[in-house]
Chain A
Amino acid sequence: MRRYLLLIASAVLAFGGATAVAADTQPAELFNASYDVTRAYFKSYNELFRQHYAAAHNGRKVSVYQSHAGASKQAMAIVNGLMADTVSLNQASDMLLLSRHNMVSKDWETKYPNHAVPFTSVTVILVRKGNPKNIHDWSDLLRSDVKFVMPNPKSSGTGRYAFLSLYGGIRHSVGDDATKVDAAMKRAMRNVPILANAGHGATNAFVTSQIGDALITLENEAHMAAEQYSPGQFEVIYPDYSVVVEGPVAVVDAVARKKGSEALADEYIKYMWSDAAQELAASLWLRPASEKVLARYHSRFPDIRAYRAVDEFGPWNRIKKDIFSDGGYFDQVYK
């Protein structure tokens, strides 16, 4: 028995020693949780960051693990124990949930430049080649001969932005008369044959299954569809008045502290503002936060009157409550 104990003890010691020695040569690990339509960006960004990190830390390797799902699902998962060191969401309201549960610090918005938003997007309309239904603005989606697809605001952040843009755009063109706006919104939503489960699902229904005449989605997703999934088949229409999509990023402090990865996580987030990362965003049709890079890619990003959702509809917790919660405005439009 004694011999066995000794054996086990020495094995444990040897193993412990080995890991202590290996700690510096072993790749550092980072887990980033993000929303659905950022796969392309983070796949390239992780590679970019790996190279940057190795160059800055004597060739030390870092493995970045990725998880993608609906933004609200990710926020909920982190609250429920998903061990993500960093998080990238597409709505401030989901970040508020994390800060309320002390997962990210209360001052997350001021920790990084541009309200902690490394790149933005706007809501646009994707139409078929040649724009056969002559769709140029939100008000065209009210016409009875138009059918359009969008993601479900109940389950998708992109869907919420799509609905807000439509609502804001119609309010802008119809005027302040609430009954007229409501009637117009009811008419618009009757033209929606599919509320897809997530942002990319809506793109699939429109692009692959050829459902509807238009798709409301984010600028980057629309350009990916028009220029990469099926080039030459679609056109991106910029409506006159559209919501800015702000995807905040943060270190999940509660997790990083536990894992001891605070410095690495902070570097991972900070590097998103580097020129290389900003150019990567621009190349994927995400509007870079850096003025300098944005100016260089100006031809890709037409100027439109874009507004922040909070300026038009009030703070995010009110938007979620008044518009998207059960019995909220979205539900009333369908009543």
Chain B
Amino acid sequence: MNLLTKKRAILPGLGLSLGLSVLGLSLMVFIPIVVMVFTAFEGGWDRFVEAVTDRRVLAAAWFSLRMSFYATLINLVFGSLVAWVLVRYRFPGRSLLNALVDLPFALPTAVTGVTLATLYAPTGLIGQMFAAEGIFGRIFGPTMIAFDAKGVVIALIVVTLPFMVRAVQPVLETLNHEFEEAATVLGATRGQTVRRVILPELVPAMIMGCGMMFARATGEYGSVIFIANNIPYDTEILPLVITGKLDQFNPQAASAVALLMLMISAVILLAVNIAQWHFQKRLVEAH
């Protein structure tokens, strides 16, 4: 290990490439964040606290967190399933399906939002099944999907799905069949094999996928805004509150709320890293 890093250090071009990396990161990530923090605290600590403890901001933060949590939970199952199908089975159209997974990354989020809103609106192809006259509407009673909290969850599921699939897929690919075979030979049932052999290997990747999905979901604006109904204190997402403050020409309050969002994401990513490190350690010890 030590030998490897030493070898790297004597590779030529460290100064230039590191310098460029630091410059790029500073210009595009670090400096904007510093400016945002400064703007958030323009007018002192009190103004910042006032902005982030506003009931409407807190309601929006709570709503964003809840919806992101639901979307993450659903994708934890669904995304892992997609990854499993893509790695373990060979079927016609597999590479097409594999490419489709990345589509939410490639599509402008506004397009995703408008498309979903149209599909899931009471007049839309899927939405009408849940309207008063539709099949599901008749059985379960009419329900709105677009322009409701449910729509927000659906938009978040779509835009965050690739994170989960792409986090789990490579780990699944490197997972050796021999372990499973050995487990079977030693008398494990299929369920035991999944629980005891496959899942432990996947958990770190799953945690990472969930963390990235959750962080992305709390900040998602473009797709959600078209499918949500944006009622204050009820179904308003936090990014909408930020743009609302900008529209009132109040960059200080907008930055303060943005900082709150950044802190939420930072806490999540930190928790994910700790959890991942913890599981990785257990995994290494088990090996």
Taking CB atoms, residues of chain B closer than 8 Å to A195 are: 229-232
Among B242-273, those with CB < 8 Å from A are 243-250, 253
Contact (A211, B249) CB under 8 Å given A155-B240, A327-B54, A334-B233 = no
Number of B residues contacting the other chain (C-beta, 8 Å)? Answer: 30
Contact (A331, B123) CB under 8 Å given A72-B247, A97-B249, A209-B147 = no
Taking CB atoms, residues of chain B closer than 8 Å to A209 are: 117-118, 121-124, 127, 146-147
Task: Give the contact stretch, choosing among A16-24, A45-53, A284-292, A318-326.
Answer: A318-326
Task: Check if B56 is an interface residue, CB within 8 A of chain A.
Answer: yes
Contact A194 B253 (CB under 8 A): no
Contact (A334, B232) CB under 8 Å given A155-B240, A208-B123, A209-B118 = yes
Known: A97-B249, A208-B121, A327-B54. 20 other contacts (CB 8 A): A72-B247, A154-B244, A155-B243, A193-B144, A193-B231, A194-B229, A194-B230, A194-B231, A197-B226, A197-B240, A209-B118, A209-B123, A209-B147, A211-B121, A320-B248, A331-B56, A331-B232, A334-B56, A334-B232, A335-B233
Contact B54 A193 (CB under 8 A): no
Count CB-based A-B contacts (< 8 Å). 78
Contact B246 A76 (CB under 8 A): yes
Best-buried of B118, B245, B247 by chain A (most CB within 10 Å): B247
Residues in A lying within 8 Å of B, measured CB to CB: 70, 72-73, 76, 97, 152, 154-155, 192-197, 201, 205, 208-211, 320, 324-327, 331, 334-335
User: Chain B: which residue is nearest A154 at the CB level?
Assistant: B244
Contact A193 B147 (CB under 8 A): yes
Residues in B lying within 8 Å of A, measured CB to CB: 54-56, 117-118, 121-124, 127, 144, 146-147, 225-226, 229-233, 240, 243-250, 253
Taking CB atoms, residues of chain A closer than 8 Å to B147 are: 193-194, 205, 209, 211
Best-buried of B127, B240, B253 by chain A (most CB within 10 Å): B240
Contact B233 A324 (CB under 8 A): no
Q: How far is the CB of B224 from chain A (nearest CB, A)?
A: 10
Q: How far is the CB of A89 from chain B (nearest CB, A)?
A: 13
Taking CB atoms, residues of chain B closer than 8 Å to A327 are: 54
Contact B248 A325 (CB under 8 A): yes
Q: How far is the CB of A209 from chain B (nearest CB, A)?
A: 3
Taking CB atoms, residues of chain B closer than 8 Å to A73 are: 246-247
Q: How far is the CB of A236 from chain B (nearest CB, A)?
A: 21
User: Chain B: which residue is nearest A328 at the CB level?
Assistant: B248
Contact B230 A152 (CB under 8 A): yes
In the bound complex, how far is the Cα of B56 from the Cα of A72, in angstroms?
A: 21
Contact A76 B231 (CB under 8 A): no
Taking CB atoms, residues of chain B closer than 8 Å to A201 are: 226
Give the secondary structure class of A's interface. loop
Contact A326 B248 (CB under 8 A): yes
Contact B54 A210 (CB under 8 A): no
In the bound complex, how far is the Cα of B55 from the Cα of A197, in angstroms?
A: 21
In the bound complex, how far is the Cα of B253 from the Cα of A331, in angstroms?
A: 16
Contact (A155, B123) CB under 8 Å given A192-B231, A194-B147 = no
In the bound complex, how far is the Cα of B144 from the Cα of A334, in angstroms?
A: 22
Taking CB atoms, residues of chain A closer than 8 Å to B123 are: 208-210
In the bound complex, how far is the Cα of B124 from the Cα of A236, in angstroms?
A: 25
Contact B56 A324 (CB under 8 A): no
Nearest 5 A/B pairs, CB to CB: A209-B121, A154-B244, A194-B229, A72-B247, A334-B232
Can you report 14 A-B residue pairs in the complex whose CB atoms are below 8 A from each other? A152-B244, A154-B248, A155-B243, A155-B247, A201-B226, A205-B147, A209-B122, A209-B123, A209-B124, A211-B121, A211-B147, A325-B248, A326-B245, A326-B250
Q: How far is the CB of A69 from chain B (nearest CB, A)?
A: 11
Contact A210 B121 (CB under 8 A): yes
Taking CB atoms, residues of chain A closer than 8 Å to B229 are: 193-195
Contact among B122, B230, B248 with A196 in the assembled complex (CB-CB below 8 Å): B230
In the bound complex, how far is the Cα of B234 from the Cα of A192, in angstroms?
A: 12
Contact among B122, B124, B225 with A197 in the assembled complex (CB-CB below 8 Å): B225
Q: How far is the CB of B140 from chain A (nearest CB, A)?
A: 19
Q: How far is the CB of A160 from chain B (nearest CB, A)?
A: 10
In the bound complex, how far is the Cα of B250 from the Cα of A331, in angstroms?
A: 16
Q: How far is the CB of B137 from chain A (nearest CB, A)?
A: 14
Contact (A197, B230) CB under 8 Å given A72-B249, A208-B123 = yes
User: Chain A: which residue is nearest B55 at the CB level?
Assistant: A335
In the bound complex, how far is the Cα of B232 from the Cα of A324, in angstroms?
A: 13
